[in-house]
Amino acid sequence: MRRRRLAVAVALVMLTATASMPLATRALPLIVRIAYEIEQRGIVYSWGGGHAERPGPSNGTCRGYKGRIKPCPAARTRGLDCSGFARWVYALAHGKDVLGPGNTNDHVRRMRRVDAAPVPGDLIFFGKITKKRVKTHHVGIYLGRGKMMNAPETGAMVRIDDISRLKDFAGFYRYSMSAKSA
């Protein structure tokens, strides 16, 4: 009887520890599991959020803000923008700030393009990337099956969206220790 109670208690602890993410995510890469855990926290989008000295939610900035909500709420909103979200997830997964400060243009330069099939955990960029010019405006974490986790826009929370939501797909990119840094 005592063993059964202990087994039930252990099962309840394990269920509680893993209940915040969908069952199928336990087999996914660490980057994707971390992204799901962050999504469950209900973190709001904040223009420039996630770009403090250390990765993670921070107050945003109104500098360069062109969002639809006026006046700009970013300076008083603790949260993440799209590149701040990617930066934090990758820092947690790699144990250090591998993407560093900056925006989507800075981050894509620290990655290598995926020419073969993308895998969950790769970053997906939107904008225009050529050999001579990088001009991106959005990044998400690829989940597979046409989905990405991202911090999409002012007024939204970190969430899952269809990749097709944005029309200017620029490519899938993967971080590797041998990737060039800007």
CB burial class (10 A; 0-12, 13-18, 19+) of residue 102?
Answer: middle
pLDDT tens profile 146-182: 999 999 999 899 999 999 999 999 999 999 865 544 4
pLDDT tier at 5 (50, 70, 90 boundaries)?
A: very low
| Total number of domains constituting the chain | 1
pTM of the model: 0.82
Neighbour order of strands in the sheet with 147-150:
112-113, 169-174, 123-129, 134-144, 147-150, 159-162
Query: How far, in Å, CA of 43 to CA of 58, rounded?
Result: 11
Q: Is residue 7 part of a domain?
A: no
Q: Is residue 13 part of a domain?
A: no
19 pLDDT higher than 50: no
pLDDT tens profile 30-75: 999 999 999 999 999 999 999 999 999 999 999 999 888 999 999 9
Asked if 106 contacts 179 with a C-beta cutoff of 8 angstroms, the reply is no
Question: Mean per-residue pLDDT for 79-101?
Answer: 96
Domain that holds residue 153: 26-174
Q: Is residue 19 part of a domain?
A: no
Q: Is residue 16 part of a domain?
A: no
pLDDT tens profile 127-144: 999 989 999 999 999 999
Q: Is residue 36 part of a domain?
A: yes
What CATH number corresponds to the domain at position 76?
A: 3.90.1720.10
Q: Is residue 181 part of a domain?
A: no
Q: Is residue 116 part of a domain?
A: yes
pLDDT tier at 87 (50, 70, 90 boundaries)?
A: very high
Query: How far, in Å, CA of 41 to CA of 67, rounded?
Result: 23
